Structure 1
Amino acid sequence: MSSEQEAESIRCLVSKVGLDGHDRGAHVIARAFRDAGFEVIYSGLHKAPDEIVQAAVQEDVDVLGISILSGAHNTLVPKIMDGLEEYDAKDDTLVLVGGVIPDEDRPELEEEGVAAIFGPGTSIEETIDFVRENAPQR
């Protein structure tokens, strides 16, 4: 399979969880993923954790990108991870978090199963390369 075919087979859900209305970063990453050849679904704003889980499971995504700037990451991200586990989708889904996440909060999110946390200033190429290297093979 060529790298272009591999990229096309990577299904991504880019999501905005909670009351955070700042979606420019989510739009930028969704567009970059699309330009890289990934299949992208954007959840829209103000989604509850269970809505994001339902979308990830129903769309059978390989990658779930959670964009959060509200500061509620320690509450909302674990709810998403628990939901994925309930549907036996946690091990089959590469979960990424993007946003302003304090260094002291990162280990807890990683223990929950978040594969990577991308903060401000992370290059688009770094994020795309991480997805290509770590997305589950189906």
Structure 2
Amino acid sequence: MTKPIDDPSYPVRRTDAEWRDQLDPTQYQVARHAATERPFTGRYWDHFAAGRYDCIGCGAPLFSSETKFDAGCGWPSYSEPIDGALVERLVDSSHGMTRVEVRCARCGTHLGHVFDDGPAPTGERFCINSAAIDFQPKE
């Protein structure tokens, strides 16, 4: 069984009511219940401005626009996180398949999944829900 999204080992914790107050309904379902937004519907799938993408739950800096690429999948895709320690990897055996789920290591927010079909140099594709991140433009 995978680690619960509200596991007490996450440094940033909130009650369910606090998460509901902080997040809009789509963000809440994605971040706290590992839902997935439909492809080509999130606000960042085709967004390529210079800046940083932070966790919607706690504000941790997760991905840089410098590693964002168009994977053609309909979700924001990155070749690597800003700091690998801030992105937790967990085995996800839901939906009849085995994948690697990625969460914010600080608050447990479900971000998406990582696959091994990305570009060099990492070969990884972090497929992230727009509802789980917040863009901060480069100053």
Per the TM superposition, whether the score is higher than 0.5 is no
TM-score w.r.t. length of structure 1: 0.27
More strand by share: 2
TM-score w.r.t. length of structure 2: 0.27
Q: Whose relative contact order is higher, 1 or 2, with alpha carbons under 8 Å and at least 6 apart?
A: 2
More helix by share: 1
